Structure 1
Amino acid sequence: MAPRIAVLGCGYWGSNHIRTLKGLGALYAVSDQNSDRAAGFAAEHGVLHIPVEELFTRDDVDAIVLALPPQFHAEYATRAVTNGKDVLVEKPIALTVADAEAEVKAARDNGRIFMVGHVLRFHPAFEKLLELVKSGELGEVRYIHSHRLGLGKFHTENDALWDLAPHDLSMILALTGSEPIEIRGEGAALLDHLSDFAHLHLKFPGDLRGHLFASRLNPYRERRLTVVGTKAMAVFDDVEQWERKLAVYRHAVWQDNGQWAFTAEEPTYIPVGEGMPLTRECQHFIECIQTRATPRTNGEEAINVLRILTAGTVTHGKRPG
């Protein structure tokens, strides 16, 4: 039997959760501070509209998806888990590490599932890339870099780093299997006090290096994650068509009489099954509710992501968020 899941927050991303959970047969109710908006979604999908203040104490709600402005996530996630609800919290789960630790601890103390909306961890192309790394297909990973660029979206609370980078940081942490030991951030605010683009420079144990570039003031859209190993390089490009989303380059680099030489090979495109990451994420959440398994994207991972964001934040008169 599918769990009865309510979505709190009927904005852009909340509406995606609503449609996805409806398709999976698990949408039970919707809720939003804008009651008219929530009522409209409820009528459209044939589910309950539950006022926000009633949502947390309803015995007929098993779990809640929180898709709110991030400054509200910690408060409502804590209320949900202390009232016996499992939660899926959109990123970022809080604006401070302390708040994130408190809500994750509350979930643990109350025996509740706590999952984070790092949706690209459920992308079939990333899952295959992670498989290539773990199998040693790329050799020893030495460098990972990601570019997440585009125009907008502009938020009053989140800068480009906090809005865009959690996706890539989640993937980088999964690929490295470790936390960075050095973090350096750079950014610039061109419109107001919030950074519109940001760079993160990361150093991991074993001298593995990482770099992340996020921008919301870029004329073209780029969604690319590159992994450089000692045997091969791989690129997950989410802007490409499905048959070209994951490419492996088997370039060779060597020294010949003290001089560096290389061969550049054409990419091999790795077949990946098509699938919507959000659908797969919601399916995973449902499975975790039913089996009580620890989610792939759990609270500890979210805390690690927040630590990196905090360490890499460059302020411009006011802290982002």
Structure 2
Amino acid sequence: MKPRIAVLGCGYWGANHIRTLKALGVLHAVSDANKARAEGFASEQDCLAIEPDALFTRKDIDAIVMALPPQFHAEAAIKAVENGKDVLVEKPIALTVPDAERAVAAAKANKRIFMTGHVLRFHPAFEKLKELIDNGELGEVKYIHSHRLGLGKFHTENDALWDLAPHDLSMILAITGSAPTEIRGEGAALLDHQSDFAHLHMRFPNGLRSHLFTSRLNPYRERRLTVVGTRAMAVFDDVEPWERKLAVYRHAVWQDSGQWAFTANEPTYIPVEGGMPLTRELEHFLSCIQTRAEPRTSGEEAITVLRILTAGTVTHG
């Protein structure tokens, strides 16, 4: 029997969840503080519209996908798991580490699935990149840098770091397999007190280093994750078409008579199967609900991401 899923929060990203869950045949209800918005989606998708206060105790709902403003995520997740619902909570799952820890602890205490919406972990190009790394194709990974730049979106609660960096931090943590031991942040605020540009510099236990750059005031879009290994370098570029999203560069660098020399080779584009990351993410959530397996993007990972964001946040006057 398929789980019956409700979506709490019918904004931009909640709407994507609603349509995808409907296509998967598991959308049971929608809910939003804006009653008219919820009823509009309910009519469009032929499902129930339920008031937020009534949602958590409904016996006909098995799990809730939460796409709320992040300051409301923790309390809503706690209420859901205490009422026996599994949850997928969009990033960030809270605005403070203690709130995130309370929500994840509540899920564990009530034996509920807690999954985080780090959707790029389910991108076929990233999954293939991770496979190449795990198989040793790049050699020992020494450096990772990620750029996520564009114009907008602007939030009252989230700066560029908190809004954009969780996706990349999730991918970096998946590659490194550990939390960083050193974190240094830099930021610049142009519009108000929130950082519109943000840099994170990280060092990991094995000496691997990483740099992350986010901007919401950039004239062009960039969505690029680069992994530098001892045998090869790889680039996951989500702006490129499918046939060019994942490239491997087998450059060579060596010393000759005390001088450094190198050869630059053309990239090899790695075939990547098609597939929408959000669909794959929600399929994984459904599988976890049915098998009770720990999600790939667990609550613990989300807490680690929040710790990094908190340590790297620059406060502006």
TM-score normalized with structure 1 length: 0.98
2:109 corresponds to: 109
Q: CA deviation at 1:2?
A: 1.3
Q: Secondary structure at the match of 1:281?
A: helix
Q: Provide, for residues 103-144 of structure 1, a one-character-per-residue CA deviation record: whole Å limited to 9, x for no partner.
A: 000000000000000000000000000011111110000000
Provide the C-alpha distance between the structure 2 equivalents of 1:272 and 1:176, rounded to a whole number of angstroms: 22
Look up the equivalent residue of 2:223 and give its one-letter code. Answer: R
2:44 corresponds to: 44
Provide the C-alpha distance between the structure 2 equivalents of 1:206 and 1:50, rounded to a whole number of angstroms: 49
Q: Secondary structure at the match of 1:265?
A: coil
Look up the equivalent residue of 1:114 and give its one-letter code. Answer: F
Provide the C-alpha distance between the structure 1 equivalents of 2:135 and 2:280, rounded to a whole number of angstroms: 23
Q: CA deviation at 1:206?
A: 1.8
Q: Provide, for residues 234-276 of structure 1, a one-character-per-residue CA deviation record: whole Å limited to 9, x for no partner.
A: 0000000000000000000000010000000000000010000
Structure 2 portions without partners, runs of 5+: none
Look up the equivalent residue of 1:46 and give its one-letter code. Answer: D
> Structure 1 residue runs of 4+, over 6 Å off?
none
Q: CA deviation at 1:32?
A: 0.2
Provide the C-alpha distance between the structure 2 equivalents of 1:44 and 1:120, rounded to a whole number of angstroms: 28
Q: Aligned ranges for residues 210-225 of structure 1 at < 5 Å?
A: 210-225=210-225
Q: CA deviation at 1:162?
A: 0.1
1:164 corresponds to: 164
1:261 equivalent to 2:261? Answer: yes
Look up the equivalent residue of 2:301 and give its one-letter code. Answer: E
Q: CA deviation at 1:165?
A: 0.1
1:73 corresponds to: 73
Q: Secondary structure at the match of 2:206?
A: helix
1:136 corresponds to: 136
Q: Provide, for residues 68-101 of structure 1, a one-character-per-residue CA deviation record: whole Å limited to 9, x for no partner.
A: 0000000100000000000000000000000000
Provide the C-alpha distance between the structure 2 equivalents of 1:129 and 1:205, rounded to a whole number of angstroms: 22
Provide the C-alpha distance between the structure 2 equivalents of 1:296 and 1:228, rounded to a whole number of angstroms: 24
Provide the C-alpha distance between the structure 2 equivalents of 1:120 and 1:218, rounded to a whole number of angstroms: 21
Q: CA deviation at 1:205?
A: 1.3
Q: Secondary structure at the match of 1:57?
A: coil
Provide the C-alpha distance between the structure 2 equivalents of 1:207 and 1:143, rounded to a whole number of angstroms: 9
Provide the C-alpha distance between the structure 2 equivalents of 1:208 and 1:13, rounded to a whole number of angstroms: 34
CA-atom RMSD in angstroms: 0.4
1:274 equivalent to 2:279? Answer: no
Q: Secondary structure at the match of 1:65?
A: strand
Q: Secondary structure at the match of 2:16?
A: helix
1:235 equivalent to 2:235? Answer: yes
Provide the C-alpha distance between the structure 2 equivalents of 1:265 and 1:292, rounded to a whole number of angstroms: 46
1:83 corresponds to: 83
1:6 corresponds to: 6
Look up the equivalent residue of 2:155 and give its one-letter code. Answer: H
2:252 corresponds to: 252
Q: CA deviation at 1:232?
A: 0.1
Provide the C-alpha distance between the structure 1 equivalents of 2:205 and 2:112, rounded to a whole number of angstroms: 33
Provide the C-alpha distance between the structure 1 equivalents of 2:57 and 2:243, rounded to a whole number of angstroms: 47
Q: Provide, for residues 6-47 of structure 1, a one-character-per-residue CA deviation record: whole Å limited to 9, x for no partner.
A: 000000000000000000001000000000000000000000
1:299 corresponds to: 299
Q: Secondary structure at the match of 1:266?
A: coil
Provide the C-alpha distance between the structure 1 equivalents of 2:204 and 2:296, rounded to a whole number of angstroms: 21
Structure 1 portions without partners, runs of 5+: none
1:33 equivalent to 2:33? Answer: yes
Provide the C-alpha distance between the structure 2 equivalents of 1:178 and 1:255, rounded to a whole number of angstroms: 32
2:284 corresponds to: 284
Look up the equivalent residue of 2:191 and give its one-letter code. Answer: L
Q: Provide, for residues 264-303 of structure 1, a one-character-per-residue CA deviation record: whole Å limited to 9, x for no partner.
A: 0000000010000000000000010011111000000000
Provide the C-alpha distance between the structure 2 equivalents of 1:308 and 1:156, rounded to a whole number of angstroms: 21
Provide the C-alpha distance between the structure 2 equivalents of 1:142 and 1:290, rounded to a whole number of angstroms: 38
Look up the equivalent residue of 1:177 and give its one-letter code. Answer: G
Provide the C-alpha distance between the structure 2 equivalents of 1:13 and 1:62, rounded to a whole number of angstroms: 21
Provide the C-alpha distance between the structure 1 equivalents of 2:178 and 2:135, rounded to a whole number of angstroms: 17
What is the count of residue pairs matched by the alignment?
A: 317
Look up the equivalent residue of 1:243 and give its one-letter code. Answer: E
Q: CA deviation at 1:179?
A: 0.7
